[in-house]
Structure formats: structure tokens, C-alpha cells
Chain A
Amino acid sequence: DSGVTQTPKHLITATGQRVTLRCSPRSGDLSVYWYQQSLDQGLQFLIQYYNGEERAKGNILERFSAQQFPDLHSELNLSSLELGDSALYFCASSEGTGGADTQYFGPGTRLTVL
């Protein structure tokens, strides 16, 4: 158990819909990262927040947005969903701003868009 929690575990929805994925980092970690992993693919970095502020942005679509709240939990919002958005979405957390930090991954949310 990494100490990072993600809800829900599974999500099935239809094209055009909007969903929110939630992540709670390890106690004491200030950074939260979001990754997308499509079937049998690598990890695509989406976005990082550090202590409530956006720190780094990766290949995140305009239909996707995220935020980190004062209690450090984070939410990833995916809107106007398309079939191609079906994937595993991982959240990870780390102590600092990145660089040499170890990232601790949550169990992931499996999103299926029908």
C-alpha cells in the first residue's frame, strides 16, 4: 500500500459525458501528479500540482483540467469524453517539487467510455 488513494476504482460512462477522478496523496506529500496509461502503453504525464499550485504541465488535453485543494487532495476533471479517453488514470504523490523525488502511485482509476 503506497498510501495514495484514488476513487473511484472503476468508472464507466458514455461519450460526451464529464467525470471527476479523485486522489488523496500520502500524508506529508505536497506534490500530486496525474498520468494516463492507455492499454499496454506507457505512462503519459498530464499535470503536476505542488501545494495547491500548478507546477508542470504535460500532454493534457484542453478538455481535461485538474486542481489541488487546500487539504492537498486533487481532482482530475475530464469532459466531453471520447472513446479514446478510455484508459487507466494514475495519481502519484511526492514530498517535494519533483526532480529527485520518489513518486508513490495510487491504485489507479480505470475509465471506460462507451
Chain B
Amino acid sequence: GQQVMQIPQYQHVQEGEDFTTYCNSSTTLSNIQWYKQRPGGHPVFLIQLVKSGEVKKQKRLTFQFGEAKKNSSLHITATQTTDVGTYFCAGPGNDMRFGAGTRLTVKP
């Protein structure tokens, strides 16, 4: 199965600052998914990207899929305390490969 690498592992920001997490694969991905896990919670699906160069927005969250379909990013504008959690990207496959996750903490 395909493996995805995710950076950074941790990110601590001041409320109102922007945040970005990156996901990279050595092989072309047919699709990529993003999940969010709140502290003490379980992963929850956020979005799936399929097309080369695709950009999708969910309020303050912007998801991008690279032109070569080997990388993806999640950008949060003006973070809020409700954004706290771990963000995972996941490559396709029967044994879906989750990235290690980026843990975001937000200081009020």
C-alpha cells in the first residue's frame, strides 16, 4: 500500500494565526482524504480530494491536492481554539495509510 508522510508533527499557534500541514507521497495518489481528531475523540472525516490541482474550501479550511497528485495540504486561516486537534491525511488503498498526523494547539 501507499504511504504518506506528514509534517510538521506538532504546531503551536496563537489564536488568529494561520496553520498549514503538509502531506507527501512518493507515488501518485488516486485520492487523498483528511480527517480531524479532537483531543479525547475519534478521527472524523473532513474531505476527499481526487483531481489534480484540486482546491476545496470549508469555511476557514482550505485543502489542496498537488498537480502531480503526490502531495496535499490543509491550511487553516485565523485559527480558533475550536481548531485544536490532530489532523491526519490518508492515502487510498484497502489498508488505508494514515499519515502520522499534525497536532495543532492554539493559545487563546
Contact = CB atoms under 8 A, between A and B. Distances in A.
B43 A43 contact: yes
Q: Which interface class (under 10, 10 to 19, 20 to 34, 35 or more) fits B?
A: 20 to 34
B28 interface: no
Q: Which interface class (under 10, 10 to 19, 20 to 34, 35 or more) fits A?
A: 20 to 34
A100 B51 CA distance: 12
Nearest to B1: A56
Interface in A91-105: 92, 97-100, 102-105
A40, A58, A99, A100: residue with the most chain B Cβ atoms closer than 10 Å? A100
B88 interface: yes
Consensus secondary structure, chain A interface = loop
Contacts of B14: none
B42 A2 contact: yes
A47 B101 CA distance: 20
A108 B94 contact: no
A18 interface: no
B84 to A, nearest CB: 14
B42 A106 contact: yes
A10 interface: no
B40 to A, nearest CB: 10
B106 interface: no
Given A42-B100, A100-B30, A2 B95 contact: no
B50, B88, B96: residue with the most chain A Cβ atoms closer than 10 Å? B96
Contacts of B45: 102-104
A33, A35, A43, A57: residue with the most chain B Cβ atoms closer than 10 Å? A43
Name the 7 nearest CB pairs between A and B, nearest first.
A98-B94, A56-B94, A56-B95, A105-B42, A42-B100, A43-B98, A102-B45
24 contacts: A33-B96, A35-B98, A42-B98, A42-B100, A43-B88, A45-B96, A48-B94, A56-B93, A56-B94, A56-B95, A57-B95, A90-B42, A90-B43, A98-B92, A99-B31, A100-B48, A102-B48, A103-B35, A103-B43, A103-B96, A105-B42, A105-B44, A106-B42, A108-B42
